[in-house]
Amino acid sequence: MNDIEHIENGSETASGGVSSISAGEGSPKMTTRNVEVYYGEKQAINGVSIDINMDNVTAFIGPSGCGKSTFLRCLNRMNDTIPIAKVTGDIELDNEDIYAPDMDVVQLRARVGMVFQKPNPFPKSIYDNIAYGPRIHGLASGKDELDHIVETSLQRAGLWGEVQDRLDDSGTALSGGQQQRLCIARAIAVDPEVILMDEPCSALDPIATAKIEELIHEIRGKYAIVIVTHNMQQAARVSQRTAFFHLGTLVEYGVTSDIFTNPTQEKTRDYITGRYG
């Protein structure tokens, strides 16, 4: 699979940081080895290796500018949209190199969906927002099937009850929390394998946040979920695995409860106890 040594939990790396790259039991859904990202001359990510498991919600935490969002955007090649960004290292989805020349980015993004920091529904009806992905990928063979996909996606996102009578209203007319759930439903509609969430609750109020967290609980297991968050309580609540990033490096990765109660690294301890960040 790769030529990088599997590093056990707690062992020291040459750079002084400690990384357990394993996601635990079972074969990982995504593996990354020695990933580096450059924005022009500036290095944003420095040698990150991490495994992402199907059954887990994986949280990326760390102070602003630590590279967690940048790293997340490598996983579905959204960094391709930034002309000066350059990614090196191995990132594999089901043992397939996603940066291989013959990898179809369009297919990849259908398999690895994404939810953004700010809800970004298209200026279309609720129905068309959900149907967008299935339509461009030809997932439905008729109107009935498309209706079915829209309904199940909205149900899974816990939004069906609120919008079933107004599917023709504009998606942008919903409240912030509803918009974000609409975006999750939109991502679910193309039946991805992995869902990446980039600070999905940072623009929402606490009640809307609680709903999103509940939703993450419900869809966990059906999709491998990676969530970037600023909110450590949120990471503790929703995730089973947590990775702590600092200045572009992965400082520590492990079982969430261990990270929060018994971190092995000084930096992790400082961050989660609120000494900086």
Helices 126-137, 176-189: crossing angle, 10 deg rounding: 20
Query: Do residues 19 and 49 make contact, with C-beta atoms less than 8 angstroms apart?
Result: yes
- Number of chain residues interacting with another protein (CB under 8 A): 26
Out of 38, 46, 137, 170, point to the residue binding another protein (CB under 8 A).
137
Binding another protein by CB under 8 A: which of 39, 99, 122, 160? 122
Radius of gyration in angstroms for the set of CA atoms belonging to the chain, rounded to a whole number:
19
Does 183 bind another protein (CB under 8 A)? Our answer is yes
Member of 59, 157, 190, 197 binding another protein (CB under 8 A):
190
118 is an interface residue for another protein by CB under 8 A: yes
124 lies in the site for another protein, by CB under 8 A: yes
Should residue 156 be labelled a site residue for another protein when binding is judged by CB under 8 A?
A: no
Instruction: Quickly list DSSP for 160-199.
Output: HHHHTT-TTSBGGGS-HHHHHHHHHHHHHHT--SEEEEES
Kindly tell me which of 106 and 207 has the beta carbon lying closer to another protein: 106
Which window, 6-14, 55-63, 103-111, 254-262, contacts another protein (CB under 8 A)? 103-111
Segment contacting another protein by CB under 8 A, of 43-51, 87-95, 185-193, 252-260: 185-193
CB of 212 to another protein, least distance (A): 17
Q: Which of 213, 167, 275, 120 is nearest to 263 (CA)?
A: 275
DSSP 3-state of 127: helix
- The mark string for 233-262 relative to another protein (x by CB under 8 A, - otherwise) is ------------------------------
Minimal distance, residue 32 CB to another protein, in Å:
18
Structure tokens at 80: 């391709």
Three-state SS across 198-257?
A: ECCCCCCCHHHHHHHHHHHHHHECCEEEEEECCCHHHHHHHCCEEEEEECCEEEEEEEHH
Specify the 3-state DSSP secondary structure of 138: coil
136 part of the interface to another protein, by CB under 8 A: yes
SS3 121: coil
Interface with another protein (CB under 8 A), residue from 68, 156, 181, 186: 186
Q: Which stretch binds another protein (CB under 8 A): 23-31, 109-117, 249-257, 260-268?
A: 109-117
Q: Is 37 an interacting residue with respect to another protein (CB under 8 A)?
A: no
d(CA 124, CA 245): 37
Q: DSSP code of 72?
A: H
Binding site for another protein (CB under 8 A): 76, 78, 81, 83, 106-110, 113-114, 116, 118, 120-124, 132-133, 136-137, 183, 186-187, 190
